[in-house]
Each structure stands twice: as structure tokens, then as C-alpha cells.
Amino acid sequence: MFSTVIEAFGMVFKPDVLLVMLASSIYGIVIGAIPGLTAVMAVSLIMPIAIFLDPIPALAAVIACDAMAVFAGDIPGTLLRIPGTPASGAYTDDSYKLTQQGKAEEVLGANCFFSAIGGLIGLLVLMTSAPLLAEIALNFSTYEYFWLACLGLTCATFMTSQDKLKGIVSLFVGLFLTTVGFDSITGQPRFTLGVTELLGGIHVIPVLTGLFALSEIMRRVSSTTPPSAMYTGKIGYIYKGIFHMWRTHIPQFLRGNLVGVVVGALPGAGADIAAWLSYAISKKCSKTPEKFGTGHMEGIIESTSANNAALASAWIPAFVFGIPGDVTTAMVIGILYIKDLKPGPTAFIDHPEIIYGVFICFAVANILMLILGYYSIKAFRHILRVPPFVMLPLILVFCTVGAFSINNSLFGVVVMLFFGLLGYIMEENNFPVSPMLLAIVLGQILERNFVISMVKSGGVWIDFFNRPIAGTLAALAILFWVYPVLKKIYQIARPKAA
Amino acid sequence: MKISDAVFGVILVVFAAIILIYSRTLPTLPGYAYGSGFFPSFTAIFILCGGIALAIRGVRERQPLLVLGEWTKSLRLISNICVIPLSIVFYIALSDTLGFVLTSFLMMSGTIWWLRRKILSTVIVSGISSALIYIFFAKMMLVPLPTGFLGI
């Protein structure tokens, strides 16, 4: 193991990898700091480049970009009351109220410091739990993987959708889309409409650039919201008194990290949910809940720790089971498959140096955040000065090249355009797009494990339940499915009983 | 632009019906009752149920079939939103003939000019960006971008 760690260090601490990390960090900060451009969009735009890089620089680019974009989302939230990313939205009101009280430096320092520490704690959990879980997962069969995929998709749908019905529809349309192309079991072409390019299926990269980037560009150019006002106050040294703040907020810090790593590790959940849940828990547990929303540091520390802790722990299900923890890790799984590095428990045996390399990249990215975060806050005014109507067409060309470069074919651009329009219509009508993307990533895993399980069991359904872990996962998934129905029945029955 | 759930419901029901009909034509595994059509049918059943539920909700809540968004009141914003997909269609149609550099320059400059109406900065930004993207993807990442009559 020691030699593998040394090898991983050697792979990460190369000038080209460090340069990729630095460039992706700066890029992540710029995108994250621009109101309306999300961390997911930042990562989705980096994907067309990542697929041409070696595995370690590709994964390092995603890790650095994601961590920085999630943190940078706090900057416009604090200074302009416009959260840069959905995760920052949880505590924007508190941050902005503190800015109005002349405490912008304090808030931004807390955002940067606790994000970085949260990220390191998430990494610690990833490092300790992933190898242990991988050993257990080595005994998994198709039944367990089938239920894990079900559980991941269920969590993704129920946690990311305000309108559950539309979330379910989005999920199943995504699952259907994975059936386009050759069936991996029988080799039968399906739903290709005579288009040769569809025989290989629908590639995830043009889909995600369409769903997340193109649709966002369309929304931004048609926005009726006036441009945000520039922050004019002075920002000095942001880490002044940070250790005192840490000492006085230990319970919030610990709780935020705990919620972050647990939520992040749930298949389908992610940093956004971790931040909102953490804020709600912080308010519930606070001795002064009435101060929340009026400029209170407790909720900020708890949620900002949680969202970055969730980033690392979201890699646990991705690495151990090949089931993405969030949209970003769904994209990472796409990269791993392209690089012929199949995620799953055998990854810890087949290419452990990549796993340790990822751990090191997380550590470097979070340490880098403390330094770059400081300068990015200073440079925020300049970032906002970039006219969005110059930035958006540039992103558009970038998306087009990215979609083209997947198969060196214009068909990728056509797919991106289709999913861009679809994503725009979906979001305008409150259909969440995340379940669709996760379904596209997980659909083939679900179908393959299901069909193989059916063949193994000779069509006997009970075999899906009679292995201990498969049974437990099945019970959890079914509980998720029936809970809303039971709740509804209870709500209808209760007034009658009263 | 809000479309009624009832409209989405009907579209989904028709879509699911097509999947179900087509799936029945797909062969099964030898000796088994399921095969290539099983999983698409499984997804179609849920899409069908979701479509029916949405249609019922749309009708029950008497949602208007179409509510136009704020942006539809401004001709400028309507054209802004149309220019994005149109610029991609432009790229799809002409990149093989004009080559990447010229197509991306025209695509970017056309879009930036339409959105900002500042000709000088538009030309400078588009020219530099197209060249940099070309160098990065075609020369460094060796992506065979369309060459066109100029050879770039």
C-alpha cells in the first residue's frame, strides 16, 4: 500500500497536473462567482477537455473545479444577495445581512475557511470508509447492484424534486433514453430510427452540456432580471479572528460536517441538499433560532461546512459501487468509463494508485482553496466586470466543440441542441433535470443487472430479496417508494378519524 | 413559458404508447419471456402512469394550456432566446464547408453582436476566442475539427 501511495503522490505532484488543477480552480472560481452559473455547469463545461487528459489530471480538474465553484458561489451571495450556486442559497440572507452590518470580511473568511476544512473532513471520511465499503462490495452480485441503482435513482428523484411526480417522469424518460442503441445483452438495436449514430447509444457528455449549459444560456439571455449592482465596500484580510470563530462554533462545525458527509454519501443527494438540510438542522438546534435570516453566523458555518464536506463523500458511492453520489460524480463515472477505469470495488484492486491520487487531489484542492479563495474574493469585482453577453456566446462555442469532440461527429452537436431545448422546456415547467441525467448514467447498469439477475434466477423474483444485503437495500428502496403513499393515506384518514 | 400539465400528460401518454408498441416487436431471450423489449416497456409503463397523473392534475386544477413568460413581451428577448439554437444550427449546417475557425468566428461574433451591439469588441473577442479554442482542441488535444475550404 505504501508504494501505491508514493506512486499516487508522484502522479499528482507533476507540473502538468498541478497546472491543470490551478487552471481548473481559477476557472471554477470565475464560473461559481458569476451569479446564475452553477458548479454543475462549470464541471459540465470542463468535461470535453477532461476526456482528452490522462485519468489523474482529468479527475484533478473536476475535483478542483467543483470545490472552487461551490465555494465561489458564496461570494456573490454574501456581497450581492445573489447566490452563485444553489448550495449557497441556504445561507445567502444571513450572509448578506452580515455584509450590511459591515461584516463582509468575517463572512467571506468563514465561507472560505470552513469550506476548505469541510472538504478535508469529507476527504477523511472518503479515505477511511471507501476501502472498507469496497471490501464488503466485493461480495456484491447483480442483485445488490440492481437494488443500489434503484436506491440511487430513488434518492435522486425524491431529494432533488419539489414536484415528485415530475421528478419521476424525468427519471423514467432518462431511463428510456439509455435503451436507445444496441442492447448490451442481446446485441439487438433499439429505438435508433434508422440513424447509424444512435446505434452506439446516446453519449452522456452532449446530454449534460445540453441539459445544464445550453438551457442555462437560453435562460440567461432571455432573463428579465436587471444586472446585479456592484459591491462598493472595502474587503481587507478575511481570516482575521477565524480561529476564535472556529472555537466558538465547534458544535455547528461538527454537525455541519456530519450532515455533509452523510448526505453526500447518499446516492443521488449532493452538496445542495446537504447545505439546505444543514441550515434547517442548525436553526432547529440553535439556542437563538429567531436570529436566523437576520445575519447569524451559526447557520453559515454549519451549511458552508456541509456543502464542501458533501463533495468528497459523494465520491464514496461513485468509487465503491459505481453509483453516483451527485450530478458531478455522475459525470466522473462517465470519465472513468471513457478512460477504461471501471468504477466499483475492483477499482481498489485494479488501479489503487488512481484512487489514492484522487484522495491527494482532494487534499491539494482544499488547501489551494484557502489561498485562491482569498485572492478570488479580492478579484470579485473584476470577475463581475466580464459582460455576460460576451461570456455566454463563448461558453456556447465551447459547448459545441465539446459535444463535437466526443465522437468527432456533428451528431453530438445535434444531441446537445436537442437536450438543450428539452432542458429549457423542462426547467421552465418545473421538471427537474438531475433525475434524467442520473438515469442516463445508471440506466444501463440497472438494465444489465436486472436482466442478468432474471436469467440467473430463472425468472424467480424472490431471489432479488433473499440475500441479506440485497434484501436490506430492497427494503430501503421499497420504503422510499411506499412512504409518500402511506403518508398520503394517513393524511386523508386522520381528519376522518378526528 | 408554462405549459399545462395536461398537455405534457397527453404527450407522455402518446410517447409511452409508441414505446410499448415498438417494444413488443423486439425479440426475447431464448427460453425466457423477456429480452430487449422488457426494460423499455417497464420504463414506458411508468411514463404512461406519470402522463395520466399529470393529465388528470392539469385538468383538475384547470391549468391554462399555455402561459407566456415575461420574456415573450419583449421582441428583443424573444430574438435573444432564438439566436442561441439558431447559431448552433448555423454551426451544424456550415462547419464542414467553412471550417471550424471561420464558422465559430461567425457564430460567436453574430451572437455577441446580437446581444451587445458593439462591433469592435465583438470582432476582437470572437477572433481571439476562436483562434484559442482552435489551437487548444485541434493542435493540443488533436481533435479533428472540421477543416472546410480554408483548411482550418
- Span A217-257, pLDDT tens digits: 998 888 877 665 666 777 778 888 889 999 999 999 999 99
CA distances from A202 to A191, A403, A441 (A): 11, 12, 10
Contact A397 B108 (CB under 8 A): yes
φ, ψ at B28 (rounded to 5°):
-95, 170
Candidates A16, A171, A389, A436, partner chain B, best to mutate (most B CBs within 10 A)? A389
Q: Which residues of B are less than 8 Å from A459 in CB distance?
A: 32-34
Closest to B88 (Cβ–Cβ): which among A169, A223, A400?
Answer: A400
B134 is written with which cell numbers?
A: 482552435
Closest listed residue to residue A478, CA positions, set A458, A461, A453: A461
Q: Would you say residue A84 has pLDDT above 80?
A: no
Tell me which amino acid residue B45 is.
Answer: I
Residue of A nearest to B129 (CA): A394
What does the pLDDT average to over A201-214? 87
Distance (Å, whole) CA A309 – CA A320: 18
- Percentage above 90 pLDDT, chain A: 27
Q: How much is the pLDDT for A61?
A: 93
pLDDT band per the 50, 70, 90 thresholds, residue A161: low
Q: How much is the pLDDT for A383?
A: 73
Q: How far is B143 from chain A (nearest CA, A)?
A: 6
Collapsing DSSP to helix, strand or coil, B2 comes out as strand
Closest listed residue to residue A209, CA positions, set A440, A48, A4: A48
Closest to B26 (Cβ–Cβ): which among A190, A401, A420?
Answer: A190
Size of interface A-B (CB pairs under 8 A): 167
What does the pLDDT average to over A405-428? 92
Closest to B92 (Cβ–Cβ): which among A223, A396, A414?
Answer: A414
Domains of chain B, residue spans = 2-67, 72-140
Q: Which is more confident, B136 or B87?
A: B87
Beta bridge partners of B28: B35
Q: How much is the pLDDT for B5?
A: 95
Tens of pLDDT, residue by residue over A137-153, are: 888 889 998 998 888 88
Name B94's Cβ contacts closer than 8 Å, sequence gap at least 6. B103, B106
Distance (Å, whole) CA A273 – CA A306: 9
pLDDT band per the 50, 70, 90 thresholds, residue A49: confident
Candidates B83, B88, B121, B129, partner chain A, best to mutate (most A CBs within 10 A)? B88
A294 is written with which cell numbers?
A: 437576520
Distance (Å, whole) CA A411 – CA A418: 11
- Asked whether the beta carbons of A73 and A32 are under 8 A apart, the reply is yes
Between A334-338, A394-398, B43-47, the lowest mean confidence (pLDDT) is in: A334-338
- CA count, 13 A, side-chain hemisphere, A397: 30
- Asked whether the beta carbons of B152 and B104 are under 8 A apart, the reply is no
User: How close are the terminal C-alpha atoms of chain A, in Å?
Assistant: 64
Vertex A455 angle, CA A171 and B19, to 5°: 35
Distance (Å, whole) CA B113 – CA A397: 15
Distance (Å, whole) CA B20 – CA A350: 41
What's chain B's average pLDDT? 92
Q: How far is A133 from chain B (nearest CA, A)?
A: 30
